């Protein structure tokens, strides 16, 4: 183990929600190793609410609306000056951006640990090499930084603890809900990337949600952002006569995390909100299409989440390479029966009677 006794530690991961969730295992390893350190997470405005109340953090440092605040020369200088004011003695950067590596170097932080993909991490004092062609989970790649620092990563999972006060602050119909089936109808959009091909067909989501609600004898809540209203309307039309609870464009990320505590099953695509719910404790079924669950599946303790996916030759380098050409859900995606089998297995592993 390196001889480290940081008093002020910086964790720099600005974007986006799924990647921020995948960074929380690294946060757990850092806090366990350095219980007395003051830990600051520098994060973008879009993702900051996800970790705003995290009990392992001392400070959240906003870096602005950009997915990469150091992408432009002006942004790079602004970020470097912002970080310099923090007087950090250790920077941990689970990101492939050479601009972020340059920012922590310009900030004068003596010990800098980060990812070195294709030589882009040369400015780190502790470099963690990675081959983008090797299929590994993103959270494990981030944890490699902790391992390079000599830290224990045992039982470090994605974690977004929810307090009783957060649950009590939910709107009354949710606070008193009895084990909802929550379906996210959107996804595939964040400040760093647009890949709407990841969204399963609405009819598939409706089919699985209806079966799960019937099995659990509970209601379906429909989740999404303001831009997902058309898909939410399509979902409602697919289940005529059902008493659906519409939460589209209603809840904050903090409230969605709290919603996880009253969720019997969360269903949706490979998207940040589903990763958030899994990390907050909801049994989660993630339906994958043109992205790889071996890289981006829920990173939670075994048995708490499941994925449904039909293997397909995807581009090397993960979602940064974009969707594969000519991929479609109809030809290459999982079907309703395959998804339902994954849902049943998950419900059998989790305590589906908790909300009965």
Is 120 found in the same domain as 186?
no
Q: Are 136 and 155 in contact (CB under 8 A)?
A: no
> Could you tell me what percent of the chain has a pLDDT over 70?
97
Question: What global pTM score does this model have?
Answer: 0.94
Residues 94 and 67 in one domain: yes
Q: Are both 238 and 328 inside the same structural domain?
A: yes
Measure Cα distances from 147 to 85, 141, 154, 232, 315 in Å.
Answer: 28, 10, 10, 43, 28
* 258 and 117 together in one domain: no
Domains: count for the chain = 2
Q: Is residue 155 part of a domain?
A: no
Provide the residue count of the chain: 356
pLDDT in tens, 95-118: 999 999 999 999 999 999 999 998
Judge whether 277 lies within some domain.
yes
**Burial of 154: CB neighbours in 10 Å, binned 0-12, 13-18, 19+:** exposed
Residue finishing a domain among 148, 182, 208: 148
Instruction: Report the DSSP beta bridge partners of residue 116.
Output: 129
Reported as a single tens digit per residue, the pLDDT across 221-280 is 999 999 999 999 999 999 998 989 999 999 999 999 999 999 999 999 999 999 999 999
Identify the pLDDT of residue 261: 94
pLDDT(42) > 80: yes
CATH of the domain at 122: 3.40.50.2000
What pLDDT does 176 receive? 80
Strand partners, 93: 114
Whether the pLDDT of residue 313 is over 90: the answer is no
| pLDDT tens digits, 135-193 | 999 999 999 999 999 999 999 999 999 999 999 999 888 988 879 999 999 988 777 77
256-267 in b/e form (b: 16+ CB < 10 A) is bbbbbbbbbbbb
User: Domain range holding 184?
Assistant: 164-349
**What is the DSSP code string of 62-100?**
E--SSSSTTSSHHHHHHHHHHHHHTT-SEEEE----HHH
DSSP 134: S
User: Are 59 and 116 members of one domain?
Assistant: yes
Q: Check whether residue 197 and residue 326 sit in a common domain.
A: yes
CA distance 59 to 82: 14
Do 115 and 227 fall into the same domain? no
Last residue of some domain: 124, 148, 172?
A: 148
Q: Single out the residue of 231, 285, 275, 233 nearest to residue 253, CA to CA.
A: 275
Question: What are 52-84's pLDDT values in tens digits?
Answer: 999 999 999 999 999 999 999 999 999 999 999
């Amino acid at each position: 183990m390196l001889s480290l006794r940081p008093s002020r530690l910086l964790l720099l991961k600005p974007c986006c929600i799924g990647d921020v969730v995948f960074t929380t295992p690294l946060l757990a390893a850092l806090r366990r190793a350095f219980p007395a350190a003051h830990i600051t997470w520098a994060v973008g405005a879009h993702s900051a609410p996800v970790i705003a109340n995290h009990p392992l953090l001392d400070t959240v440092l906003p870096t602005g609306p950009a997915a990469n605040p150091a992408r432009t020369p002006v942004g790079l200088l602004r970020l470097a000056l912002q970080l310099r004011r923090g007087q950090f003695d250790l920077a941990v950067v689970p990101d492939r951006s050479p601009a972020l590596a340059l920012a922590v170097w310009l900030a004068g932080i003596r010990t800098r640990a980060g990812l070195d993909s294709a030589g882009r991490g040369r400015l780190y004092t502790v470099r963690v090499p990675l081959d983008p062609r090797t299929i590994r989970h993103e959270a494990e790649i981030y944890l490699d930084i902790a391992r390079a620092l000599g830290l224990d990563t045992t039982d470090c999972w994605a974690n977004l603890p929810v307090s009783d006060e957060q649950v009590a602050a939910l709107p009354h119909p949710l606070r008193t809900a009895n084990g909802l089936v929550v379906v996210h109808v959107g996804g595939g959009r964040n400040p760093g990337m647009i890949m709407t091909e990841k969204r399963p067909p609405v009819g598939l989501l409706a089919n699985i949600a209806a079966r799960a609600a019937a099995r659990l004898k509970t209601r379906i809540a429909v989740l999404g952002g303001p831009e997902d209203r058309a898909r939410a309307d399509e979902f409602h039309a697919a289940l005529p006569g059902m008493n659906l609870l519409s939460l589209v464009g209603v809840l904050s990320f903090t409230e969605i995390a709290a919603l996880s505590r009253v969720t019997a099953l969360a269903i949706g695509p490979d998207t940040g909100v589903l990763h958030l719910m899994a990390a907050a404790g909801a049994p989660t079924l993630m339906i994958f299409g043109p992205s790889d669950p071996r890289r981006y599946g829920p990173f939670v303790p075994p048995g708490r989440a499941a994925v449904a996916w039909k293997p397909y030759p995807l581009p090397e380098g993960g979602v940064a390479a974009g969707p594969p050409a000519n991929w479609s859900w109809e030809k290459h995606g999982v079907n309703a029966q395959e998804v339902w089998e994954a849902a049943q297995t998950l419900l059998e592993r989790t305590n589906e009677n908790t909300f009965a």
